[in-house]
């Protein structure tokens, strides 16, 4: 499914845009005390006093021109960065120029590297690409700058800071999303009102889930427009490894008592997971577009009441379900929503649904094209402070519809109106996104902030104990969360297993899809065995051995 681009690439590039470049002053937005406005051209601004956040705007505008390696809709990103871009430019004299593309980010990064056409800063670069780009001399060492200008960076990362340095003591990237926030990421979902309509039969196993979804589709075979309803679907943000957690596998691997790891392709559990999806397919219960759905297309199907169940990220059924319905359907009721459940296959010790890598998701790097690295690191350092994390996470403060208010000197509060809207189910996420919450997630973490030990960059995760539905979800899934940090592996450019890993993952993605859409049991077994054979010929057994060795090394270090 992951193919190298061809001549279509030229057309695909055209969807990229630089988002949020307007700096026109919105008079309804309060400027921080003593702040200076800067022009779009990046011209020098007069000297200014420290603003509300204690930041003294530089005399010359700091321009941070970055590509973010997350596949996203450029128009939506432009909309959601407009207000926060203007606020930061006016109050900090920092011009954040964010570029995204609605194309595969790995392929985009490969093109950038090959062509030499890339910006000063790249956000959301994975460890493999950091290694690849560094091997070609394209990554700027941040360690000296952090030593001089990064006290908040070092404080935020704490004892883990040294773990981000390479063998030469270089800091090639600042992590994004590090830390542990003990909330669920992934689960099975079910539409609550239709489930209650059936009498809410117990659901504990994949078989229970299958039977309930089949009955729900039988009761609701089409939506109001006469379109076919499916039990399950998929979208391009779902990962196969997460599905395997229902069968007791951790991040796609089976672990024995001696910590030896076996890829799901070589396990009975993995075959059963693939067979489970194939069962839905053969009975006409599976969306036939599941392997080609982009998220926005999938969301339309979901919102149009064509999908009754979901195995994926917890927020997706909320975003595409009741958060849309409550504003568009005149007869909306509170139980017209999806709830999250923890399926566990018979024989599985636990359902391992939400792996947590406390090192973070990926990295923000400065490339060899950077012109003013000192100024950039200074602003990154502010972003890493607790108040910087709040600003970047919760968006523009002090407006009537802001999620929070900030006075000065660390004094802040939640906007009670917005908080109550969140708790009572009337919170307008789409409007809130336009205030820029996490629109510029460049360097901050996702764990609890050190100044109060309870708030976090995710605005809607700050009230979980007070939100009935969030509390239900987290109570249902608390045993499915696990720390997966020790299994983290960076497939560096000079690692002999890097190519093997890429080839195997491509093979597995294609082979899983082929097995799932098999028309008979015989075809399924044949296709799955073909996948297993091809993956092992590519070197999967050697890859399993390598992962096991690295995992055991990390476990030993963590237990010292």
* 26 occurs within a structural domain: no
Stated as kind and residue range, the H or E segment containing 209 is: helix 206-219
Q: pLDDT value at position 105? A: 93
Q: Are residues 249 and 365 in the same domain?
A: no
Whether the predicted pLDDT of 40 surpasses 80: no
* 330 occurs within a structural domain: yes
Distance of CA 183 to the CA centre of its chain: 14
Whether the predicted pLDDT of 315 surpasses 70: yes
Domain span at 270:
186-352+489-558
Q: How many CB atoms lie within 10 A of CB 516?
A: 25
Per-residue pLDDT averaged across 514-521, rounded?
97
Q: pLDDT value at position 494? A: 80
For the stretch 483-497, pLDDT in tens is 998 998 888 778 899
Q: Are residues 191 and 328 in the same domain?
A: yes
For the stretch 545-558, pLDDT in tens is 999 999 999 898 77
Q: Are residues 253 and 227 in the same domain?
A: yes
Q: What are phi and psi of 362, to 5 degrees?
A: -170, -160
* 88 occurs within a structural domain: yes
* Percentage of residues in the chain having pLDDT higher than 90: 77
Last residue of a domain, one of 397, 430, 465: 465
For the stretch 189-233, pLDDT in tens is 999 999 999 999 999 999 999 999 999 999 999 999 999 999 999
Q: pLDDT value at position 11? A: 35
Which residues share a beta bridge with 67? 99, 122
Number of domains in the chain: 2
3-state helix, strand, coil in the chain (%, to 5): 45, 15, 40
Among 472, 425, 424, 463, which Cα is nearest to 189's?
Answer: 472
Sign of CA dihedral 318, 352, 295, 393: positive
Task: Give the CATH number for residue 173.
Answer: 3.40.190.10
Whether the predicted pLDDT of 245 surpasses 60: yes
For the stretch 163-189, pLDDT in tens is 899 989 999 999 999 998 888 999 999
Q: Are residues 215 and 331 in the same domain?
A: yes
Q: Are residues 449 and 373 in the same domain?
A: yes
* 20 occurs within a structural domain: no
Q: Are residues 375 and 426 in the same domain?
A: yes
Which residues share a beta bridge with 99? 18, 67
| Cβ–Cβ < 8 Å for 262, 544 | yes
Q: pLDDT value at position 46? A: 54
Which pair of tokens denotes residue 503? 């080839």
Q: Are residues 220 and 119 in the same domain?
A: no
Q: Are residues 168 and 205 in the same domain?
A: no
* 53 occurs within a structural domain: no
| Cβ–Cβ < 8 Å for 391, 23 | no
Say which residues have a Cβ less than 8 Å from residue 315's Cβ, sequence separation at least 6.
none
Q: How many CB atoms lie within 10 A of CB 533?
A: 13
* 297 occurs within a structural domain: yes
C-alpha count within 13 angstroms, C-beta hemisphere, residue 269: 26
Q: How many CB atoms lie within 10 A of CB 426?
A: 10
* 476 occurs within a structural domain: no
Say which residues have a Cβ less than 8 Å from residue 417's Cβ, sequence separation at least 6.
none
* 267 occurs within a structural domain: yes
Last residue of a domain, one of 465, 500, 519: 465
Q: What are phi and psi of 207, to 5 degrees?
A: -65, -45
Start-to-end Cα distance in the chain? 42
Per-residue pLDDT averaged across 482-511, rounded?
90
Whether the predicted pLDDT of 2 surpasses 60: no
Mean pLDDT rounded to a whole number for the chain: 89
Q: How far is Cα 490 from Cα 89, in angstroms, rounded to an integer? A: 36
Alpha-carbon radius of gyration of the chain:
24
Q: pLDDT value at position 208? A: 98
* Percentage of residues in the chain having pLDDT higher than 70: 91
Whether the predicted pLDDT of 26 surpasses 50: no
Q: How far is Cα 522 from Cα 165, in angstroms, rounded to an integer? A: 51
Whether the predicted pLDDT of 38 surpasses 60: no
Q: Are residues 166 and 198 in the same domain?
A: no
Whether the predicted pLDDT of 517 surpasses 80: yes
Q: What is the 3-state secondary structure (H, E, C) of 296-347?
A: HHHHHHHHCCCECEEEEEHHHHHHHHHHHHHHHCCCCCCCCCEEEECCCCCC
Confidence of residue 560 (pLDDT cuts 50, 70, 90): low
Q: Are residues 198 and 335 in the same domain?
A: yes
Q: Are residues 156 and 213 in the same domain?
A: no
Whether the predicted pLDDT of 240 surpasses 50: yes
| Cβ–Cβ < 8 Å for 322, 337 | yes
Q: Are residues 453 and 547 in the same domain?
A: no
Per-residue pLDDT averaged across 84-90, rounded?
98
Range name among 6-15, 73-82, 246-255, 292-301 with the lowest pLDDT average = 6-15
């Amino acid at each position: 499914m992951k193919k190298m681009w061809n001549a279509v690439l030229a057309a695909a590039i055209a969807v990229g845009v630089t988002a949020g470049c307007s700096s026109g002053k919105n008079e309804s937005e309060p400027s921080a005390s003593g702040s200076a406005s800067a022009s779009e051209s990046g011209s020098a601004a007069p000297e200014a006093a420290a603003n509300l956040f204690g930041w003294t705007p530089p005399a010359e505008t700091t321009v941070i021109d970055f590509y973010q390696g997350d596949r996203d809709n450029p128009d939506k990103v432009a909309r959601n960065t407009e207000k926060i871009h203007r606020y930061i430019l006016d109050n900090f004299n920092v011009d954040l120029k964010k570029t995204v593309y609605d194309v595969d980010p790995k392929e985009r990064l490969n093109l950038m590297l090959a062509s030499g056409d890339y910006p000063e800063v790249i956000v959301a670069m994975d460890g493999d690409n950091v290694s690849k780009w560094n091997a070609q001399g394209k990554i700027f060492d941040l360690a000296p700058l952090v030593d001089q200008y990064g006290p908040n960076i070092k404080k935020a990362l704490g004892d883990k800071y040294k773990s981000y340095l390479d063998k030469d003591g270089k800091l090639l990237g600042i992590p994004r999303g590090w830390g542990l926030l003990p909330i669920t990421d992934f689960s099975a979902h079910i539409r609550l009102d239709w489930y209650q309509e059936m009498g809410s039969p117990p659901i504990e196993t994949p078989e229970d889930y299958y039977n309930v979804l089949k009955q729900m589709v039988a009761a609701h075979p089409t939506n109001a427009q006469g379109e076919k309803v499916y039990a399950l679907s998929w979208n391009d943000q779902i990962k196969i490894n997460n599905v395997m957690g229902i069968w007791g596998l951790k991040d796609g691997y089976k672990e024995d008592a001696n910590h030896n790891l076996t890829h799901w392709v070589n396990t009975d559990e993995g075959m059963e997971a693939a067979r489970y999806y194939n069962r839905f397919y053969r009975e006409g219960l599976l969306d036939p577009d599941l392997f080609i759905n982009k998220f926005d297309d999938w969301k339309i199907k979901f919102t149009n009441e064509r999908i009754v169940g979901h195995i994926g990220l917890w927020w997706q059924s909320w975003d595409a379900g009741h958060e849309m319905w409550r504003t568009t359907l005149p007869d909306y009721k509170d139980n017209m929503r999806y709830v999250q459940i923890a399926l566990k296959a018979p024989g599985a010790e636990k359902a391992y649904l939400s792996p947590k890598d406390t090192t973070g998701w990926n990295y923000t790097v400065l490339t060899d094209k950077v012109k003013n690295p000192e100024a950039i690191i200074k602003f990154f350092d502010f972003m890493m402070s607790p108040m910087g994390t709040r600003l970047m996470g919760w968006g523009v403060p002090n407006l009537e519809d802001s999620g929070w208010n900030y006075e000065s000197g660390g004094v802040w509060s939640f906007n009670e109106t917005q908080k109550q809207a969140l708790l009572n189910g009337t919170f307008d996420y789409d409007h809130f996104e336009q205030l820029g919450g996490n629109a510029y997630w460049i360097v901050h973490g996702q764990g609890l902030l050190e100044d109060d030990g309870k708030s976090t960059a995710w605005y809607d995760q700050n009230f979980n104990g007070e939100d009935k539905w969030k509390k239900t979800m987290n109570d249902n899934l608390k045993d499915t969360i696990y720390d997966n940090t020790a299994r983290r592996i960076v497939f560096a450019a000079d690692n002999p297993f890097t190519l093997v890993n890429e080839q195997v993952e491509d093979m597995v993605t294609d082979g899983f899809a082929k097995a799932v859409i098999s028309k008979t049991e015989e075809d399924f077994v044949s296709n799955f065995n073909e996948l297993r054979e091809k993956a092992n010929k590519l070197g999967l057994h050697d890859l399993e051995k390598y992962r096991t060795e690295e995992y055991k090394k990390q476990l030993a270090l963590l237990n010292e």
